[in-house]
Amino acid sequence: MTLDVVQQLKLLQHIYSESTIWDEELRASRQTVPEDVSTEQLQALEVAGHEPNHFVRPQHEETIRELRTLAERWTLQEAAQAFVASLWSAPMIWRSLLTGKLIATSIPDHEYSPYPSSHKCQICGLDVNDGVDTSLQWYWRMTNGTPLDGDIFGHVIALREMAASSQELPVPSEYDRWTLRAVLTVLRNLPPKTRYSKAADALKKEQLLPTKKVYVYRDLLETLALVGILDTPEQPGMITAFTSYAERDKRPNTRVEVQAPLAWWDSSVGINEHNLNLIFGELNCSDVSLEDKPEPNPMASETVMGAFESRRGVRTKAKVPKKSPDAGTGEVQPGDVYAVKVLSGSWVTVYCHEVRDKRAIVEYLDGVFPDMPVKEDLILTVRPRPDERWQCSAIGMDSTSWVRRVARDMPAPATSQPKPESVPFHAAKDLRHMASWCFPNL
């Protein structure tokens, strides 16, 4: 099995939408791979170099050295060209070449200088303690934008990908060049004092990128700011000078989500035309008429991003079983029994005692079933923990994969023990892993 780039991204999207588990040894959140993902699909991701949970732990000097070495492969002009191409026709990862190049050429030699309370370097922002999942990084570079806050290891991973790519350096098409001018036109014509979130909305409204996600437009603004096109005299971008992570992290107030320079920029500061010319001087950067938008070439659906957003989810092997004949309709109510798939070939059931504020007080019942049980299979006996009964207040009973109602209006299950004293809150999906508390052999 081989997966094209869009298929890889769709599969990673499916995998990374599942919950994660904090792995203390790894110092990272390990991704739970959903069980409907087949071994063949995981192998295909591995062959492509994008298997989930591929963790590395960056080191300080090595990361800076590698960033500089990788960035030497391309000139600033080539990075600027790739940037413009990545606005529309080329895969989005190429946008990270420009930020990577500018950080690599401006970052000073420095001692690792962590904040007192963390492992993050105050100068370059590298966190040498945490494991980084390179596949998740690739997914973000392809679907979100450049490594946020100028993350240097994120750039190393992106530049490695580009260096290893069989694709030639992308050259901007006529439409890509129009897109750059259109982005600049929107930014130059914003009402005075417009800040980044409204600016991102304005770009999205013109549909200038092959995406419907506003955070992609915001990431573009952060990128333009970091390189120095949307900067301020006090918070210069990388083309002017390297600014330390600690300086960039100073924000006007705690509500501002982005770092400097964008945190301090507004439309009245305007575009830094001097820096624009330093980076994109070979291109025409004058305004265009947004009303006379040319036909996108290629069509949005033929770009990686457009195809990623429009294509349906991956086809995975296991299908959720058909609705139970006794499931009935409507929301969870007292007397309902839900089946919970714990592992492939292991289902358990829970009884709903009560519903309060959309939360169902549920308790496991006896019985482990190889397939989703039907009403006739149910064993109406409470299944306690080894020491006492256990219940929880679960939200999302009707909207959780692998939690399916199989019977209604069932009598309360038999038990000889008193009710538990506390009933903790949980999401219904937690019923899958919590089952082992009451079924120690699972």
State how far the alpha carbon of 60 is from the alpha carbons of 112, 127, 153, 243, 269, in Å.
7, 8, 9, 17, 35
Q: Which stretch binds Zn ion (CB under 5 A): 87-95, 121-129, 141-149, 203-211?
A: 121-129
**Residue 104 touching Zn ion (CB under 5 A):** no
C-beta of 124 vs 227, nearer to Zn ion: 124
Q: Which helix (H) or strand (E) holds 363?
A: strand 359-369
Contact range with Zn ion by CB under 5 A, out of 26-34, 124-132, 340-348, 384-392: 124-132
Positions in 38-67 near Zn ion (CB under 5 A): none
Which range in 100-108, 122-130, 365-373, 434-442 contacts Zn ion by CB under 5 A? 122-130
Q: What whole-number distance in Å separates Cα of residue 36 and Cα of residue 401?
A: 11
Which CB atom, from 32 or from 122, has the smaller least distance to Zn ion? 122
CB of 238 to Zn ion, least distance (A): 15
Regarding beta strands 392-395 and 425-427, do their DSSP bridges make them parallel or antiparallel, or are they unpaired? parallel
Structure tokens at 24: 């203390």
Residue closer to Zn ion (CB basis): 154 or 210: 154
Residue 123: CB minimum distance to Zn ion, A: 4
Q: Interface with Zn ion includes 70 (CB under 5 A)?
A: no
Of 92, 97, 123, 157, the residue at the interface with Zn ion (CB under 5 A) is 123
Closer to Zn ion by Cβ: residue 6 or 123: 123
Choose between 150 and 210: whose C-beta lies nearer to Zn ion: 150
Output 63 or 211, the one with its CB closest to Zn ion: 63
Give the dihedral sign, CA 304/310/312/313.
positive
Only one residue has tokens 């019977």, namely 407
Type and span of the H or E element at 199:
helix 196-205
Q: Which stretch binds Zn ion (CB under 5 A): 115-123, 180-188, 247-255, 425-433?
A: 115-123
Distance of closest approach, residue 396 Cβ to Zn ion, in angstroms: 42
Note whether 11 binds Zn ion by CB under 5 A: no
Q: What three-state secondary structure class fits 329?
A: coil
**Residue 401 CB contacts under 8 Å (≥ 6 apart), including other chains:** 320, 429
Q: Which of 16, 112 has the CB closer to Zn ion? A: 112
What are 30's strand-pairing partners? 21
d(CA 324, CA 173): 54
Cβ closer to Zn ion: 156 or 279? 156
Question: What is the smallest separation between the CB atom of 262 and Zn ion, expressed in angstroms?
Answer: 22
Smaller CB separation from Zn ion, 27 or 110: 110
Contact region for Zn ion (CB under 5 A) — 49-57, 113-121, 193-201, 427-435?
Answer: 113-121
Closest distance between Zn ion and the C-beta of residue 165, in Å?
28
Distance CA 184, CA 182 (A): 5
Nearer to Zn ion, 93 or 107 (CB): 107
Nearest distance from residue 246's CB to Zn ion, in Å?
10
* Pairing assessment for the beta strands 392-395 and 359-369 based on DSSP bridges: antiparallel
Q: Is 124 in the site for Zn ion (CB under 5 A)?
A: yes
**Segment near Zn ion (CB under 5 A), from 117-125, 332-340, 374-382, 424-432?**
117-125
Is residue 121 involved in binding Zn ion (CB under 5 A)? yes
Q: Which stretch binds Zn ion (CB under 5 A): 81-89, 118-126, 176-184, 393-401?
A: 118-126
- CB 386 within 8 Å of CB 440: yes
Q: Of the listed pieces 119-127, 354-362, 385-393, 416-424, which binds Zn ion according to CB under 5 A?
A: 119-127
Distance separating alpha carbons of residues 385 and 401, to the nearest angstrom:
24
Backbone angle region of 116, left / alpha / beta, with phi > 0 → left and psi within -120 to 50 → alpha: alpha
In degrees to the nearest 10, what's the CA dihedral of 145, 148, 152, 157? Answer: -30
Residue 347, burial from CB neighbour count under 10 angstroms (0-12, 13-18, 19+) = buried
Q: Please give the structure tokens belonging to residue 178.
A: 């129009």
C-alpha 66 chain-centroid distance? 25
* Rounded least distance, CB 103 to Zn ion, Å: 11
Q: Do 151 and 130 touch, CB atoms closer than 8 A?
A: no
Q: Which is nearer to Zn ion, 126 or 209 (CB)?
A: 126
State the minimum distance, in angstroms, from the CB of residue 98 to Zn ion.
21
CB 279 within 8 A of CB 239: yes
Binding residues with Zn ion: total (CB under 5 A)? 3
* Closest listed residue to residue 411, CA positions, set 349, 334, 339: 334
Closer CB to Zn ion, residue 121 or residue 239? 121
Site string for Zn ion, 127-156 (x = CB under 5 A): ------------------------------
Q: Write out the DSSP string of 378-416.
A: ---BB---SSS---EEEE-TTSSTTEEEEESSPPPPB-S
Which residues bind to Zn ion, rule: CB under 5 A?
121, 123-124
